[in-house]
Structure 1
Amino acid sequence: MPDRTAGLLLPVFSLRREGGLGIGDTRSMREWIELVAAHGVKLIQLLPINETGSDDSPYNAISSVALDPVYLAMEDVPGVTSESLAKAPAPPSSERVDYDYARQWKRALLEGAWNSWPDAESALHEEFATFHKEESGWLENYCIFRSLVQLAGTERWGDWPEGWQQVDGANAAADGHEDLRAFYAWIQWLCFRQWREVRTFADSRGVRLMGDIPIGVSRNSADVFFGRDDFDLDWCGGAPPETVFKHDAFIRKWGQNWGIPLYRWDKMEREGFPWWRQRVSKLVDIFHVFRIDHVLGFYRIYGFPWQPERNAEFLPLSEKEAKKRTGGVLPRWVPRPDDTKKHCAANRAEGETRLKMVQQAAGDGEVVGEDLGCVPDYVRPHLYSLGICGFRIPHWDFDKKGKVIPGDEIPETSFATYATHDHDSIPAMWADFHRRASAANDDEDDRIETAAGLKRLADFGGIEGLGEFDDDKLWALIDALMACNSRYAAIMVTDLFGMTDRINSPGTVGSANWTFYLPWSAKDCAGRSEWARLAEAIRKGNR
């Protein structure tokens, strides 16, 4: 049985360091690995690090394999000099991550280094050539796609010149840009080179890295462009309506429309799931453990027959009016709902085939399933039977009487945490309760729901009363989480330092999402008292 492990959720983009060009990178990762290892944390949970599209969301990658060069430590790029680094001005803001600034200056530095690449030592040229050959199965198509993204000014390949929108035309268009394609291959070599070094460093400190594999991939990705037979472009994946999203009328009425194309699972299975096997095998090249985001999608997924760009059009419509615009179909479970025993059995069987394939492709890598949301009764027992840890959010985990499940009754095969990147931190949850309690115009149902959740949270931590939040309450909750029976117990970095900052707010678009930037570097906060207190909680919890 694997060791009981304490983890910390650390988005890479949030990791400040001196010289980091306004965003976290592989050097700041090594600094944080050193710091957490010294205090008993043996797992760092990351968000996806694949190259993103224009919205900078780590869950909207333009490749299921290619890594995002925004996380490169430029000091470690061959050909980047201290003189060239000194030319980059200070970021316009030190409060949030500025992706435009980071990409602009890292791109300039990479282009300068690429121009000097012919003079690099021969051993580096041989290393790059080996990488290019070994990774050609995905790299060639990615480099063509990425080159055309640059030339067209957008990853939305449906907006490219008409002759480029089919594979043959795209290949022909890229034929005259061999140097640009080689440049993008070189950048990926740098990315994998640095991240493999991060993994080696983590191994030396006894820390495991936990990656994240989104259930879908962007419609505007190299994967979909070159392999569109694997995807059903008539449907978008998402989640069913949820009344908890009080701020979003569309989600409350229709659900979450993520815009990701659905998979043609039958074709993938007939061919032995080559795309999935490649995706997983490259992930465990860097990560020891990985979380499948929305693992429920391996069983069935909620589908929309329109793209997210049309959500506003459908918001005011009745079901009858919506059907007129879609040819008679409405958002629904795909391939089937869990409304009968037969359907449940079919969904479970298909999920088993797919998840066993993922486990096989992962080899020694461990799979964790994020099973939150509308969860059928068969999912958690099934994940347990496969040895896959599902998520446990204590204040969401209660019996039929509304009583919270005690920590010593949570299954060992589980991943316990108070929040994901899509949720409030512990201090923010408490602040939200008190805000709602004093707001004269707040919805009464919201108040009752928020109070019930916070009461369960307090009960889990052995806290009496819901008075103002303080350090005693915070550490009572962290102690309780570390003492619970779950194999993994993880907190967000915002929980550790008592912060109310949000990493992402689902259903919203804005500069606050994915731009949380820690106010200090690992070196700056190494002496803070929270570290000794966390180490004590981990020790007491026998992790």
Structure 2
Amino acid sequence: MDKTRSAGILMPVFSLPGEYGIGSFGKDAEEFIDIVAETGNRVWQVLPMGPTSYGDSPYQSFSSFAINPYYIDLEGLKEEGLLTEEELKEEKEAFLSSSEKIDYGLLYQRRYPLLRKAYERWKAAGGNPDTLLAERRKENLDYCLFMALKDSFEGSAWPDFPKEFRDKEESALKSFLEEHKDEVAYYAFMQWKAESQWKAIQDYAHERGVLIFGDLPIYCAMDSADVWGNRKIFDFSWEGRKFEKEEPEETSENEQEKQDIQSAEEKGYPGFVAGVPPDAFSATGQLWGNPLYDWEEQAKDNYSFWCKRMEYCFSLYDLIRIDHFRGFEAYYAVPFGEETAVNGSWRKGPGIALFDALHRYFQKESLPVIAEDLGVITEEVRELMRKTAYPGMKVLQFAFGGDYENDYLPHMFQDNKSVMYTGTHDNDTLRNWFETLGEEERGKIYRYLSRSQNDWNAMTELLIKEALSATSYLCIIPAGDYLELLSEGRINAPGTDAGNWQWRMKKHAFSPERKKIMRDMLETYGRRTDKR
């Protein structure tokens, strides 16, 4: 992507409207691309699209090399003769109450059995499971096998698999594949359909002049095919892990904790997990729980796992946001078993060596990558940013917490090498954020925008205009901000366990009047690409 001024909209696939409980790769995705194009935007930013596990976070996926089967367009399967009109009618009725909020429990109960019917009809029509499996890339086939194993062991996490499967003994896996080939092929079928439908969405976006901006989590989920299949490149060491409590005497409570931790080590859990220390989002930090990488081991094969992850992402997206970029310079390690991320420590990351390896792999001096450089940013992180030359991020909601030399204030930007946001998927909606601010911070906004309190009702639009006016070459506005939603439009609240990743946009939310306002704003600040 060139550095011509442009703009985009942040909209998760799961938040798209539709009648089947969750957004999909169907007509609603095409209609959203139409909104992006008609308003003069150039970019549609999505969140990670991998299959989600417990907690429903797109940043905790069963695989880095797979697509969430929930996104499969059921209407498309009906057109292929794989589902019936009656089945889709029943599905619509089941999700009548899910038009504005996703019910993941209901999705889990209903969607997989329905997709299984489509798979059985595909086989009955002459589909060959052997051919399907042979055409899967290795990493995606590992995911299919992994999910079939989980089903066989009642959804257990892989450390609780029988030892021969937990440790991927070749003979055990070969026997399992022979006996459960149909189950593995069922997952391969869903991946094939998801990939085919997403490719059609990509093509449609490109026809409309829209680029798709993807998101790559820095870490892999503990219970994932990535970790299960590649344990040697992750840090499972327990060296330096202490069992002692501060109390001098032994108690039944800390004795039980010691036993639980020792059991976790024996099963294969890591001694330290990922997170971030206390910050603006959470007073106790964020305890993600992902395994950390063994960067020394990865360096031995030129970071091939990361090269393959990026290669897969580039098959899905035109440009990629790498989440938690500062973790490549130094990352935060929290002892396994901690309830918060307070008691962690920083460790040295791979630095520029990883990105040199990526550039060699793709044989390119530059890659269409944006670095999420939010959080605790040290001079070492800034130096890594300079070396990679990747654009970073600026978030307007972070701009008013300090003095008027805050790095996120538009007048402080040194050049156009950044991507401007009003907020990210982790922020509150712009309107709700402003309306719940304290008087001091809100006063700074009034002064900065040369406005008075009489502009209260117009403040969302004024703040969006401030973001669009920045020198950043690309400005991304979350759909919920353009729609001026309150807290119901928030996507995720870090540090909380309930109510996240559920927001769905209402059908026809972007009225002709709202789209005209968006076009006019983009034109005013030189970002409207449909006029060039």
Q: Do these two structures clear the TM 0.5 threshold for a shared fold by scoring above it? A: yes
**Distance between the aligned counterparts of 1:355 and 1:151, measured in 2?**
39
Given that residues 280 and 361 in structure 1 are in contact (C-alpha distance below 8 angstroms), is that contact kept between their aligned partners in structure 2? no
**Residues 487-539 of structure 1, C-alpha deviations (whole Å, 9 max, x = no match):** 111111111011123111111111x1000111x22xx2343422111111111
**Distance between the aligned counterparts of 1:3 and 1:76, measured in 2?**
36
Aligned match of 1:396? 398
Answering whether residue 431 of structure 2 is matched by residue 427 of structure 1, we say yes
Aligned match of 1:69? 69
Q: Which amino acid aligns with 1:99?
A: Y
**Distance between the aligned counterparts of 1:181 and 1:359, measured in 2?**
34
Q: Which amino acid aligns with 2:495?
A: G
Given that residues 10 and 492 in structure 1 are in contact (C-alpha distance below 8 angstroms), is that contact kept between their aligned partners in structure 2? yes
Aligned match of 1:514? 501
Identify if the C-alpha distance between structure 1 residues 263 and 459 changes in structure 2 by more than 3 Å, giving closer, same or farther. Answer: farther
Answering whether residue 517 of structure 2 is matched by residue 533 of structure 1, we say yes
Aligned match of 2:22? 23
Given that residues 9 and 492 in structure 1 are in contact (C-alpha distance below 8 angstroms), is that contact kept between their aligned partners in structure 2? yes
**Distance between the aligned counterparts of 2:383 and 2:394, measured in 1?**
13
**Distance between the aligned counterparts of 2:451 and 2:405, measured in 1?**
15
- How far residue 105 of structure 1 moved from its aligned partner, in angstroms, is 2.9
Answering whether residue 194 of structure 2 is matched by residue 195 of structure 1, we say no
Partner SS for 1:96: coil
Answering whether residue 282 of structure 2 is matched by residue 245 of structure 1, we say yes
- How far residue 244 of structure 1 moved from its aligned partner, in angstroms, is 5.5
Answering whether residue 287 of structure 2 is matched by residue 301 of structure 1, we say no
Aligned match of 1:258? 288
* More displaced 10-residue stretch of structure 1: 281-290 or 156-165: 156-165
Aligned match of 2:95? 91
Identify if the C-alpha distance between structure 1 residues 528 and 416 changes in structure 2 by more than 3 Å, giving closer, same or farther. Answer: same
Identify if the C-alpha distance between structure 1 residues 135 and 408 changes in structure 2 by more than 3 Å, giving closer, same or farther. Answer: farther
Given that residues 55 and 497 in structure 2 are in contact (C-alpha distance below 8 angstroms), is that contact kept between their aligned partners in structure 1? no
* More displaced 10-residue stretch of structure 1: 108-117 or 524-533: 524-533
Aligned match of 1:354? 354
Given that residues 281 and 361 in structure 1 are in contact (C-alpha distance below 8 angstroms), is that contact kept between their aligned partners in structure 2? no
Aligned match of 2:372? 370
Identify if the C-alpha distance between structure 1 residues 373 and 196 changes in structure 2 by more than 3 Å, giving closer, same or farther. Answer: same
Matches within 5 A, 1:318-357: 331-335=344-348, 350-357=350-357
**Residue of 476, 491, 497 corresponding to 2:462:** 476
Please give the root-mean-square deviation of Cα atoms over the aligned residues, in Å. Answer: 2.6
**Distance between the aligned counterparts of 1:469 and 1:365, measured in 2?**
42
- How far residue 63 of structure 1 moved from its aligned partner, in angstroms, is 0.4
Q: Which amino acid aligns with 2:179?
A: G
**Distance between the aligned counterparts of 2:434 and 2:177, measured in 1?**
54
Given that residues 155 and 220 in structure 1 are in contact (C-alpha distance below 8 angstroms), is that contact kept between their aligned partners in structure 2? no
Q: Which amino acid aligns with 1:287?
A: Y
Aligned match of 2:118? 113
Partner SS for 1:469: helix
- How far residue 483 of structure 1 moved from its aligned partner, in angstroms, is 1.7
**Distance between the aligned counterparts of 1:190 and 1:172, measured in 2?**
27
Identify if the C-alpha distance between structure 1 residues 527 and 225 changes in structure 2 by more than 3 Å, giving closer, same or farther. Answer: same
**Distance between the aligned counterparts of 2:220 and 2:15, measured in 1?**
23
Answering whether residue 105 of structure 2 is matched by residue 100 of structure 1, we say yes
**Distance between the aligned counterparts of 2:205 and 2:361, measured in 1?**
22
- How far residue 467 of structure 1 moved from its aligned partner, in angstroms, is 5.9
Aligned match of 1:448? none
Partner SS for 2:7: strand
Identify if the C-alpha distance between structure 1 residues 201 and 264 changes in structure 2 by more than 3 Å, giving closer, same or farther. Answer: same
Answering whether residue 418 of structure 2 is matched by residue 414 of structure 1, we say yes
Partner SS for 2:339: helix
Given that residues 214 and 317 in structure 2 are in contact (C-alpha distance below 8 angstroms), is that contact kept between their aligned partners in structure 1? yes
Q: How many pairs does the alignment contain?
A: 478
Instruction: Report sequence identity in percent.
Output: 27
Matches within 5 A, 1:155-174: 155-168=156-169, 169-174=172-177
Matches within 5 A, 1:264-283: 264-283=294-313
- How far residue 361 of structure 1 moved from its aligned partner, in angstroms, is 5.1
**Distance between the aligned counterparts of 1:163 and 1:244, measured in 2?**
42
- How far residue 276 of structure 1 moved from its aligned partner, in angstroms, is 0.8
- How far residue 333 of structure 1 moved from its aligned partner, in angstroms, is 0.5
**Distance between the aligned counterparts of 2:418 and 2:135, measured in 1?**
36
Aligned match of 2:250? none
The answer to which structure, 1 or 2, has the higher relative contact order (CA under 8 A, 6+ apart) is 2
**Distance between the aligned counterparts of 2:515 and 2:435, measured in 1?**
24
Identify if the C-alpha distance between structure 1 residues 360 and 196 changes in structure 2 by more than 3 Å, giving closer, same or farther. Answer: farther
- How far residue 372 of structure 1 moved from its aligned partner, in angstroms, is 0.6
Aligned match of 1:490? 476
**Distance between the aligned counterparts of 1:63 and 1:105, measured in 2?**
22
- How far residue 430 of structure 1 moved from its aligned partner, in angstroms, is 1.4
**Distance between the aligned counterparts of 2:447 and 2:72, measured in 1?**
44
Partner SS for 1:260: strand
Given that residues 48 and 58 in structure 2 are in contact (C-alpha distance below 8 angstroms), is that contact kept between their aligned partners in structure 1? yes
Identify if the C-alpha distance between structure 1 residues 269 and 466 changes in structure 2 by more than 3 Å, giving closer, same or farther. Answer: farther
- How far residue 166 of structure 1 moved from its aligned partner, in angstroms, is 1.6
Identify if the C-alpha distance between structure 1 residues 385 and 193 changes in structure 2 by more than 3 Å, giving closer, same or farther. Answer: same
- How far residue 379 of structure 1 moved from its aligned partner, in angstroms, is 2.4
**Distance between the aligned counterparts of 2:402 and 2:514, measured in 1?**
37
Q: Which amino acid aligns with 1:412?
A: N
- How far residue 69 of structure 1 moved from its aligned partner, in angstroms, is 0.4
- How far residue 170 of structure 1 moved from its aligned partner, in angstroms, is 4.8
Aligned match of 2:220? 217
5+ residue gaps, structure 1, are 316-329, 336-346, 438-450
5+ residue gaps, structure 2, are 236-269, 528-532
Partner SS for 2:315: coil
Partner SS for 2:62: coil
Answering whether residue 451 of structure 2 is matched by residue 464 of structure 1, we say yes
Partner SS for 2:515: helix
Given that residues 5 and 42 in structure 1 are in contact (C-alpha distance below 8 angstroms), is that contact kept between their aligned partners in structure 2? yes
Q: Which amino acid aligns with 1:150?
A: D
**Residues 355-376 of structure 1, C-alpha deviations (whole Å, 9 max, x = no match):** 3334555668510011111111
Given that residues 221 and 290 in structure 2 are in contact (C-alpha distance below 8 angstroms), is that contact kept between their aligned partners in structure 1? yes
Given that residues 412 and 486 in structure 1 are in contact (C-alpha distance below 8 angstroms), is that contact kept between their aligned partners in structure 2? yes
Identify if the C-alpha distance between structure 1 residues 457 and 26 changes in structure 2 by more than 3 Å, giving closer, same or farther. Answer: farther
Partner SS for 1:378: helix
Partner SS for 2:179: coil
Q: Which amino acid aligns with 2:315?
A: D
* More displaced 10-residue stretch of structure 1: 44-53 or 236-245: 236-245
Partner SS for 1:85: helix
**Distance between the aligned counterparts of 2:38 and 2:11, measured in 1?**
16
- How far residue 384 of structure 1 moved from its aligned partner, in angstroms, is 3.9
Identify if the C-alpha distance between structure 1 residues 526 and 333 changes in structure 2 by more than 3 Å, giving closer, same or farther. Answer: closer
- How far residue 171 of structure 1 moved from its aligned partner, in angstroms, is 4.9
Q: Which amino acid aligns with 1:356?
A: D
**Distance between the aligned counterparts of 2:22 and 2:446, measured in 1?**
35
Q: Which amino acid aligns with 1:486?
A: S
- How far residue 241 of structure 1 moved from its aligned partner, in angstroms, is 2.5
Given that residues 404 and 456 in structure 1 are in contact (C-alpha distance below 8 angstroms), is that contact kept between their aligned partners in structure 2? no
